[in-house]
Structure 1
Amino acid sequence: MSTTNYLDTPEGRRLAYHLSPGDGPCVVFLGGLKSDMQGTKAIHLQAWAQARGRAFLRFDYSGHGESSGAFEDGCIGDWAEDVRAAVTRLTQGPLVIVGSSMGGWQALLLARAIPDRIAGLVTIAAALDFTEDGYWRRFTAEQKRALETVGHVELPSDYMEPYVITRRLIEDGRDHLVLRDALALPFPVRCLQGTADTAVSVDTALRLLEHADCPDMRLTLVKDADHRFSDESCLRLIETAIAEVLAGRV
């Protein structure tokens, strides 16, 4: 497919990435928490972009995949810095951002940071503000005490080994929430959400739809699709969403 390269960021982290040359806007895939750039959606979309002569970037956040660092040392703000470093150093011109799960949150943070470069956005089961509205809100009193005393808690995962959730991840997340303050998205946005997703609720997708100020925003609910959103029919829906964003950009 392509060769893994590495980018050293201003913060001293080393990010692994794959970049395919082509026409713009460049499609940038942002993966989920503890996911990596070798996932089904990332690989499929790179092949889709290459077949159409479209520039494409996928990469691993620090503490993920082939990039430097430990997952437990990272937080939303660190990974947002990684995203900005990757798109600033590796791409030029307009971007179409495709954010899956936590990558949806990161996509909105990027849109807030560099709105002039965003030509469109596609979210897939976007896990917005999950550190506060998911983890912290559901933590028991015992788990909250453990964060204060031990500095972390472990949570089971349906997809891999337990998540180690640190006090820093929770506290830093509060500095990067996107569903509280005004959220201007002045470009086409397509949101995809499965109704059988046990990690991100339909309610979260509806909150984004109601909250964002966007002239061209659509939410597609897919009956019985789960959080992976990576079977053949779901992949086709992602392709269609990207194509719509590209066709509708100003």
Structure 2
Amino acid sequence: MAATQFLDTDTGRRLAYHLTPASSDATAPTVVFLGGLKSDMEGTKAIHLEAWAKARGLGFLRFDYSGHGESSGTFEEGCIGDWHQDTLAAVQALTKGQILPVGSSMGGWQALLLARTLPERVAGLVTIAAAPDFTEDGYWANFTDTQKAELETRGQVELPSDYMEPYVITKRMIEDGRNHLVLRDPLVMSMPVRCLQGTADTAVSTETALRLLDHASCADMRLQLVKDADHRFSDPACLALIETAVAEVLGLSGADGIS
């Protein structure tokens, strides 16, 4: 496997990344994988999709947000706006032309922010258990009065996770998240969008997926609900569905597209 490379951004952060260049004759958009909260670029979906793209001569970028994986900083220092800055920095420095973001969980929110900020470069969008506005609608809306008081006095609270050690949620993350909400104001997307959501997902509900579908203005947007799939969405059947969604948005078919 190729060695990890690093990008020093204008914000002073150092981002770890892996970039697979497109084959010389490839004209398709570069696929950009955007991971979830506290995930890193070595996850099953990112690695699988990278191999799939490489086999088809497609460009592919995966990277770690600051405070994640091999990138600089700590998770507790970060917030949605910081990771949006990281995403913009990676895309603008490491890719050219059209891109196709594939966003998982929090990465789905990041993909929507990216499409809103750089609509001219986003040729299509695929989300997997997208979690837009979760700091407000998931965390803040469900905090108890005690947790809200703790957030104010200590500046952070700890929340249990089904997948790893507790999440440390800071006051800064909550307040910054309010500056990046996408489900309150019009969300216009001129590119094709495919959303995947498992019905057994305990981190992101099907109601969230339906809310995004209903809220967005998009002429070509589809939501696929997958019975009994969980938040990881990483078993072979789910990985095949991700391939199919990306291939469909790219306009690929048959042996050159869907495996």
What range is the shorter-chain TM-score in? over 0.9
- Residue among 105, 112, 126 paired with 2:116: 112
Q: Which letter maps to 1:29?
A: F
Matched-pair contact (CA < 8 Å) for 1:205–1:219: yes
Correspondence for 1:198: 202
| Residue aligning to 1:11 | 11
Identity rate of aligned residues, in percent? Answer: 75
Alignment partner of 1:51 out of 26, 50, 55: 55
Q: Report the Cα distance in structure 2 between the residues aligned to 1:128 and 1:199, rounded to whole angstroms.
A: 12
Shift of 1:194: 0.1
1:178-210 deviations in whole A, cap 9, x for unaligned?
000000110110000000000000000001100
Match of 2:86 in 1: 82
Unaligned runs of 5+ in 1: none
Residue 26 of structure 1 corresponds to: 30
Query: Could you tell me whether the CA contact under 8 Å between 1:2 and 1:19 is conserved in 2?
Result: no
**How much does 1:3 deviate?**
2.2
Local SS of the residue matching 1:62: coil
Q: Which residue matches 1:173?
A: 177
State the 1:2 CA deviation.
2.5
Cα shift at 1:44: 0.3
1:1-250 matches, cutoff 5 A: 1-22=1-22, 23=26, 24-247=28-251
Aligned residues of 1:2 and 1:20 also touching (Cα < 8 A): no
Give, in whole Å, the separation in 1 of the partners of 2:52 and 2:145.
47
Contact 1:25/1:95, CA 8 A, preserved across alignment: yes
CA distance in 2, matches of 1:2, 1:181: 42
Q: Aligned AA for 1:164?
A: V
SS in 2 for 1:135: helix
Aligned partners of 1:130 and 1:183: how far apart in 2?
A: 16
SS in 2 for 1:203: helix
CA distance in 1 between counterparts of 2:143 and 2:117 reads 30
Q: In structure 2, what is the Cα distance between the partners aligned to 1:97 and 1:2? A: 22
Structure 1 runs of 4+ with >4 Å offset: none
> Matches of 2:226 and 2:101 in 1, distance apart?
21
Amino acid at match of 2:150: A
Letter aligned with residue 28 of structure 1: V
- Indicate the SS of the match to 1:160: coil
Aligned residue type for 2:31: V
164-173 or 18-27: bigger deviation: 18-27
Cα distance between partner residues in 1 of 2:76 and 2:41: 19
In the aligned structure 2, how far is the partner of 1:52 from the partner of 1:170?
40
Q: Which residue of 1 aligns with 2:255?
A: none
Distance apart, 1:172 and its partner CA: 0.2
Q: State how far apart, in whole Å, the 2-side matches of 1:41 and 1:233 are.
A: 12
User: SS of the counterpart of 1:117?
Assistant: coil
SS state at 2:251 partner: helix
Letter in 1 for 2:110: Q
Equivalents in 1 of 2:122, 2:114: separation in Å? 9
Q: Post-superposition shift, 1:173?
A: 0.2
Aligned-pair CA distance for 1:10: 0.6
CA deviation string 1:53-76 (max 9, x = no partner): 000000000000000000000000
SS across alignment from 1:96: strand
Note the C-alpha offset of 1:20: 0.2
Q: Which amino acid aligns with 2:98?
A: P
